[in-house]
Amino acid sequence: MEISFKDKKALVGGSSRGLGKAIAVQLAKAGASVCLMARNEDKLRKVISELDTSQGQKHRYLVADFSDLEAFKKIISAFFKENAVDILVNNTNGPSAGTVFDKQASDYQSAFDLLFQTVQYTTMLAIEHMQKQQFGRIINVTSVSVTEPLQNLVLSNTIRTALVSWAKTLSKELAKDNITVNNILTGYFDTERLDEINRKVAGEKGVDLDQLKKQMQMQVPMQRFGKPEEYGYLVAFLASEYASYITGSNIPIDGGLLKAI
C-alpha cells in the first residue's frame, strides 16, 4: 500500500514541534505541499527546512497564535481568501494544566476559544473548497481524555469533549460530499508538551521527574510513550484514499491506555 498526496495541499496546526511537526513530515514525505501553522516563526522556519521536497512540493508557513482568537480569525481568514486545502489537520497548543479547583470561569472561556473556536472557524473556511471539489479530509487532534478524563487536565478534558461531539455532527453533514471528519484520541507521546506537563506536576508534588515518567509508562500496556512519527503514520492513512469510508470516528492511538471497550 503506497500513500500519495501528490498535488494535494495540507494545513497543519501546531506544527512547529511535537505531534504537529511529525504529521507535517509524514504528509510531505507522501508528496503533499504543507502549510505549517504555529506562533513561533523561528521554529516554523526550521521545520520548513526539514520537509521533503522531492516531488516538487512547495511548503510554506503561517504565523498565528491560537490563544488570541480575534487576531487568529483575521490571519486565517486572509489565508483562505488566497488559498485552499485538501487536508486540514486541526491541532492547537493545549490549555494550562490544573484541577477543577484551580480554574475560574474565565479559564474555561479561554480554553473554549483555544480548543474549539479556532478549530470551528478554520474548518468552516476550509470546507467551501472541499465541497466544490467533492473531496476533503478533516482530522482533529484530540485526546483520550474525551473518553477517560485525565488527572490535572480539567480544561482539556472538558473542551475537547465538546469538539469531538461537534465533529461527529459535522461528519454527518459532509459525508455526502466525500469529505471525512475524524478525531484522533491521543495518548502519551514523547513530546515537549508532555514533558512540560510532567515537570509542572513533579514540581507541585515534589517528586522525581524520571520516576513520574516511569509511572506513566507503566500505565500503558506497551509500557512506553508513543513516538511522534507513529502519530504521523496514522494521520497520513486517514488523509489518504484508503480511509475514504472512515468518518465520524474517534480513533485512539495510545498503546492500549484506554480501558474502555
Q: How far is CA 3 from the centre of its chain?
A: 20
Regarding predicted confidence, which is higher, 201 or 172? 172
Report pTM: 0.95
Q: Cα separations (Å) of 32 from 29, 56, 67, 240?
A: 7, 9, 27, 11
The sign of the dihedral angle between the CA atoms of 88, 94, 95, 98 is: positive
Residues 43-60 have a mean pLDDT of: 97
The H-assigned helical ranges of 62-117 are 69-82, 105-112
Q: What is the pLDDT of residues 126-148, one digit of tens each?
A: 999 999 999 999 999 999 999 99
Residue 8 has pLDDT above 90, yes or no: yes
What single letter denotes the amino acid at residue 58?
K
Regarding predicted confidence, which is higher, 35 or 94? 35
Tell me the HSE value of 63 on the side-chain side, using a 13 A CA sphere. 6
Q: Evaluate whether 151 touches 195 at the Cβ level (below 8 Å).
A: no
For the range 94-97, what are the long-range contacts, defined as Cβ-Cβ under 8 Å and sequence gap of 24 or more? Answer: 94/153, 94/156, 94/193, 95/155, 95/156, 95/159, 96/155, 97/152, 97/153, 97/197, 97/200, 97/201
Percentage of residues in the chain having pLDDT higher than 90: 87
Report the C-alpha gap between 61 and 76 in whole angstroms: 12
Q: What is the pLDDT of residues 98-121, one digit of tens each?
A: 899 999 999 999 999 999 999 999
Beta bridge partners of 38: 63
DSSP E strands: which ranges in the chain?
Answer: 9-13, 33-38, 60-63, 87-90, 136-143, 179-186, 250-253
* CB atoms inside a 10 Å sphere around CB 61: 20
